[in-house]
Amino acid sequence: MQADGVIGKYAIGGAVGAIYYLEPSATLDVDIFISLKTPSDSSLVTLSPIYDYLISHGCKVEKEYIVIEGWPVQFLPVGDALDEEALAQAVETEVEGVRTWVMSAEHLVAIALRTGRAKDFTRILQFVESGVIDPNKLDQILERSGLLAKWEQFGDKYLKETE
């Protein structure tokens, strides 16, 4: 898709992004963060070019996902400065010879904290336990994203016993 110019830079986030750093855990979908340009005649971002491209290549749409080779994929246009930074600083890797990008562990933690569902908190705890997080880098990201207070709350609730 990237080679065909349908999307620009992208980064894998969510649970699949997390398994770049952690052990694989059950997840239903793949979250792909992309940067989209707003058409000049509209104030809305649209995923239509991506969907059109994938449907023309035999993929099926199911609810909010588009199923690519059996994987339900959700394309998420970057929504704020945190997403943009996560996309810009994504780590480059290779899967079966194809270049791809995965969000940094610290950005994945920050985005999970912002999303704030139970499964996101579980993932944050997995990151904390694994020791792959750079605390200084995370602090800076949380500060820039205005998430420090939420992090404090998370720490009070979940991390007190492990300190």
Q: How far is the CB of 62 from other proteins (least distance, A)?
A: 8
List Cβ neighbours of 32 (8 Å cut-off, separation of 6 or more).
10, 11, 12, 13, 73, 74, 75, 76
28 near other proteins (CB under 8 A): yes
Question: Of 5, 24, 58, 135, which one interacts with other proteins (CB under 8 A)?
Answer: 24
Of 15 and 147, the one with the shorter C-beta distance to other proteins is: 15
If one counts every other C-beta atom within 10 angstroms of the C-beta of residue 15, the result is 21
Q: How far is the CB of 137 from other proteins (least distance, A)?
A: 19
Q: Is 52 helix (H, G, I), strand (E, B) or coil?
A: helix
Residues 66-105 that bind other proteins (CB under 8 A): 70-71, 93-96, 102
Question: Which neighbouring-strand residues pair with 77?
Answer: 34
163 near other proteins (CB under 8 A): no
Of 104 and 145, the one with the shorter C-beta distance to other proteins is: 104
Alpha helix (H) residue ranges in the chain: 14-18, 48-56, 81-88, 105-115, 118-130, 135-144, 148-154
- Residues forming the site for other proteins (CB under 8 A): 16, 19-28, 70-71, 93-96, 102, 130
